[in-house]
């Protein structure tokens, strides 16, 4: 270790407790992906059949990649690029490129994620200042369109989000991230349960549940498989280094496989709860299940309109959603900040504001995609859609693929066994064996098949 590395490793924060690491990791996973993205993609891609693809992707690909990333991070104890360099068998092998691509993914995800988070913030504000409840699809859709097609509001809310995330990150790893997430997740869970109870007593509940849980296998297509895979990566914050970066803050005695499993299960539970809140509403009031990115924003005002104290509850709902989004964004920006500060000897503060400033520039192009730049398209997509598509459907799956190659085929099984069993302290040989089979064969093959299939190779 050089003197600088030593200094950096001392400066590096860490999650204070095992529970803290679990909660912060959960805070990265749970976010707009569950509440906004999961329902709308499920609605667009055929309901339950898509859910089946998503479950396969989550447990056969997502979970192994997540374990692999956390293991790498904890063993490397540095930002993604340095970690991959440190753990490569030879400095000439360019595995660090996975980290560089991950930094790019983090950046592009943030560009559109901050915009959606901005919509959530705007709804928090609006639920305080006006009545946003209605069961009329035209009214709620109009309200959403008015927001996103206004360039000033779009930018304003996005920048507010960015500044807030910057402030939280400069407070440091343990204090900022753990503290915010710990209180929020149980509350979010609880509120979703309340909304679910209301949704399940609507007349369209059975139809909604059928859509979400009764698969029509004719809806399975190559595109749906790729989108499900991308969603699984996006959901678990993998394929781009966030989990490597967070893993670097994990303690040595934390049980990686079992904690990762708990994160994946809780994350799935939140997504399902969000789906159960939304689809009964869709079928009760005649919303379009395939309404796309606006689905959450146009359907929720309808379910809350049917609840006592609906305008209070919708305020709390969007507020909790905004906290969940912040936990996820903090982990995205942290990938870039950890790298900038360690690589260029910048203070965390300067690194954070540098990243936030750059994000405000690039993010604006996504924020204006529904107004000023609506007609500006590349490959037939607005910039918002392009950043979304390229990250989830290309960069994250590729990142995950190379991580499985690195861990499964480059690192020694003995090293993996030592890491996952915490140097023999855990008695989990069968878990290690199962992990090795998944990470070497099953996960990379599935990613490859889905990617090639969507390119129409077969
Ligand atoms: N998992 C987060 C969500 O579902 C998004 C995210 C993706 C966060 C990639 C970090 C890295 O909202």
| Cβ of residue 235 lying under 6 Å from some atom of ligand 1 | yes
- How many other CB atoms sit within 10 Å of the CB of residue 120? 26
| Cβ of residue 112 lying under 6 Å from some atom of ligand 1 | no
Exposed, middle or buried, 253 (CB in 10 Å: 0-12/13-18/19+)?
A: exposed
Cβ-based neighbours of 4, under 8 Å, separated by 6 or more: 345
- Going residue by residue through the chain, which has 458 residues, state the pLDDT in tens, using 9 for 90 and above: 444 444 444 456 677 777 878 888 999 999 999 999 999 999 999 999 999 999 999 999 999 999 999 999 999 998 899 999 999 999 899 999 999 999 999 999 999 999 999 999 999 999 999 999 999 999 999 999 999 999 999 999 999 999 999 988 887 655 656 776 778 888 999 999 999 999 999 999 999 999 999 999 999 999 999 999 999 999 999 999 999 999 998 989 999 999 999 999 999 999 999 999 999 999 999 999 999 999 999 999 999 999 999 999 999 999 999 989 998 998 899 888 888 888 898 998 999 999 999 999 999 999 999 999 999 999 999 999 999 999 999 999 999 999 999 999 999 999 999 999 999 999 999 999 999 999 999 999 999 999 998 887 77
Going from the Cα of 228 to the center of ligand 1, the distance in angstroms, rounded, reads: 14
Counting from 1 in the atom list of ligand 1, the atom nearest the Cα of 332 is 10
Going from the Cα of 80 to the center of ligand 1, the distance in angstroms, rounded, reads: 16
| Cβ of residue 263 lying under 6 Å from some atom of ligand 1 | no
Mutation pick for ligand 1 pocket among 58, 99, 242 (CB with most ligand atoms within 8 Å): 242
Going from the Cα of 390 to the center of ligand 1, the distance in angstroms, rounded, reads: 15
For residue 131, how many C-alpha atoms fall within 13 Å in the half-sphere facing its CB? 7
Residue 382: strand pairing partners: 377
Residue 381: strand pairing partners: 378
Going from the Cα of 4 to the center of ligand 1, the distance in angstroms, rounded, reads: 31
Mutation pick for ligand 1 pocket among 37, 109, 242, 328 (CB with most ligand atoms within 8 Å): 328
| Cβ of residue 29 lying under 6 Å from some atom of ligand 1 | yes
Contact (CB, 8 A) for 182 and 23: yes
377 phi and psi, to 5 degrees?
-125, 150
Going from the Cα of 110 to the center of ligand 1, the distance in angstroms, rounded, reads: 9
CA separation for the pair 19, 234 (Å, rounded): 23
| Cβ of residue 322 lying under 6 Å from some atom of ligand 1 | no
Nearest CA to ligand 1 atom 4: 33
Burial 33-71 (b: 16+ CB within 10 A, else e): bbbbbbbbbbbbbbbbbbbbbbebbbbbbbbbbbbbbbb
Cβ-based neighbours of 251, under 8 Å, separated by 6 or more: 14, 15, 17, 18, 21
Going from the Cα of 236 to the center of ligand 1, the distance in angstroms, rounded, reads: 6
- The pLDDT tens digits for 92-136 are 999 999 999 999 999 999 999 999 999 999 999 999 999 999 999
Counting from 1 in the atom list of ligand 1, the atom nearest the Cα of 396 is 9
Nearest CA to ligand 1 atom 7: 237
């Amino acid at each position: 270790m050089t003197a600088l590395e030593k200094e950096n490793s001392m400066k590096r924060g860490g999650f204070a407790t095992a529970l803290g690491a679990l909660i912060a990791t959960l805070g990265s996973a749970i976010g707009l992906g569950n509440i906004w993205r999961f329902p709308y993609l499920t609605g667009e891609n055929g309901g339950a059949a898509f859910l089946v693809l998503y479950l396969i992707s989550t447990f056969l690909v997502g979970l192994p990649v997540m374990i692999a990333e956390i293991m790498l991070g904890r063993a490397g104890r540095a930002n993604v690029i340095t970690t991959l360099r440190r753990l490569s068998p030879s400095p000439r092998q360019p595995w660090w490129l996975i980290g560089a691509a991950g930094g790019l993914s983090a950046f592009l995800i943030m560009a559109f994620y901050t915009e959606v988070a901005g919509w959530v913030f705007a709804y928090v504000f609006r639920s305080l200042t006006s009545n946003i409840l209605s069961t009329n699809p035209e009214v709620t859709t109009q309200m959403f369109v008015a927001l996103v097609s206004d360039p000033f509001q779009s930018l304003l809310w996005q920048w507010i989000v960015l500044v807030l995330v910057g402030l939280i990150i400069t407070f440091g790893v343990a204090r900022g991230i753990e503290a915010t997430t710990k209180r929020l997740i149980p509350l979010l869970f609880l509120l979703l349960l309340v909304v679910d109870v209301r949704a399940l007593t609507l007349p369209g509940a059975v139809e909604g549940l059928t859509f979400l849980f009764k698969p029509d296998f004719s809806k399975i297509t190559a595109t749906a498989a790729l989108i499900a895979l991308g969603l699984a990566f996006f959901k678990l914050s993998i394929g781009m280094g966030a989990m490597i970066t967070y893993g670097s803050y994990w303690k040595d005695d934390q049980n990686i496989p079992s904690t990762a499993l708990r994160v994946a299960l809780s994350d799935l539970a939140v997504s399902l709860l969000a789906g159960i809140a939304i689809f009964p509403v869709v079928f009760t009031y005649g919303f379009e299940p395939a309404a796309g990115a606006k689905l959450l924003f146009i359907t929720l005002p309808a379910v809350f309109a049917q609840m006592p104290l609906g305008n209070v509850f919708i305020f709390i709902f969007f507020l909790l959603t905004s906290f969940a989004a912040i936990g996820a964004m903090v982990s995205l920006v942290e990938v870039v900040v950890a790298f900038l500060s360690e690589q260029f000897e910048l203070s965390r503060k300067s690194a954070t504001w540098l990243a936030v400033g750059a994000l405000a520039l690039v993010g604006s192009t996504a924020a204006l995609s529904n107004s000023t730049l609506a007609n500006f398209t590349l490959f037939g997509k607005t910039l918002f859609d392009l950043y979304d598509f390229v990250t989830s459907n290309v960069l994250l799956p590729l990142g995950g693929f190379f991580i499985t190659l690195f861990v499964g085929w480059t690192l020694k099984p003995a090293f993996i066994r030592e890491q996952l069993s915490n140097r023999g302290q855990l008695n989990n040989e069968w878990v290690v064996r199962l992990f090795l089979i998944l990470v070497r064969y099953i996960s990379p093959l599935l990613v490859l098949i889905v990617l090639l299939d969507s390119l129409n190779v077969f």
